[in-house]
Amino acid sequence: MDKDDTAAVLELLKKAEAVFQGHFVYTSGKHAPRYVNKMALFVHPELASQMGELFAQKYKDQDIDIVVAPALGGIVLAQWVAYHLSKLKNREILAVYTEKDKGSQSSGAESNQIFTRGYDKYIAGKNVLVVEDIVTTGVSVRKVVIAVKEAGGTIVEVCSMANINSNPAAITDELIGAKYTYLAELPVVLYDEDNCKLCQDGVPINTNLGHGKQFLERHRL
C-alpha cells in the first residue's frame, strides 16, 4: 500500500461524496457504521477513470493480458483499469467480468462467481489482474480467483481499491488464493448480525445503500 495511493483514493471518494455514516449491511452480511458507496464514484466517468489509472500505474511494469472483476461495480472498474493499462503498455489489454451463479442462488446455496457470455475463452493461458472495488472479508473476490483458475488463467495479482476490514492484515494471500494487495486501507468496525452494537443501540438500518433492505425483509419473515 502506497500512502500517495491512499490519499488519492480518499480524494476521489470525497469528490464523489461516496462515504456515508450510519448503520449499513454489507454483502458479507456484516454490519458497519460506515459505508463506501463505490457506485457513487462510478457515476462520474472522469473520477472512475482516475481511479482506474491508479491501478494501471501500479501494474504498468507487470505482464498482464486481461483484467477481471466481479459484476456489477467491478465492470466499470475493470474497463478503466484495462483502458489505462493499454495506453501505458501501448497494446490492447482486455477486460471481462464474472457474475453470480444463478443456479446456486436458486438452490439456496451461497452463490459462486462464474464466467458467462463466453468470457472464459479469453482467460485460458493469459496473465490476469483481478481487481475489486471494496474488500470487506475477502470472500467475494476469492470466488473470482477460483473462476479465473478454473478457466485456465494465471493470476498476476489481486488488487482492491480499498481494504475496509477492521483488521486489514486478516485479508491474507492464503485467504484470497493469490497474492493480494490494495490501494487504500480504510478500516471500519464490522459486526456480526447476532452481535451488532448498532442493532443493540437501536440505530436504524440504512435501506438505500448496501443490503439493509434485504436484511430487514429477511427478518420480517
Instruction: Read off the pLDDT of residues 79-103 as tens digits, 9 standing for 90 and up.
Output: 999 999 999 999 999 999 999 997 6
Residue 178: is its pLDDT beyond 80?
A: yes
Residue 106: is its pLDDT beyond 80?
A: no
Residues 42 and 36: beta-carbon distance below 8 Å: no
For residue 110, what pLDDT is reported? 67
Predicted TM-score (pTM) of this structure: 0.87
- Kindly state the average pLDDT of the residues 175-203: 94
d(C-alpha 78, C-alpha 91), whole Å: 16
- Kindly state the average pLDDT of the residues 4-31: 92
Mean pLDDT rounded to a whole number for the chain: 92
CATH code, residues 3-212: 3.40.50.2020
d(C-alpha 115, C-alpha 119), whole Å: 6
Question: Phi/psi class of residue 80: alpha, beta or left (left: φ > 0; alpha: ψ in -120 to 50)?
Answer: alpha
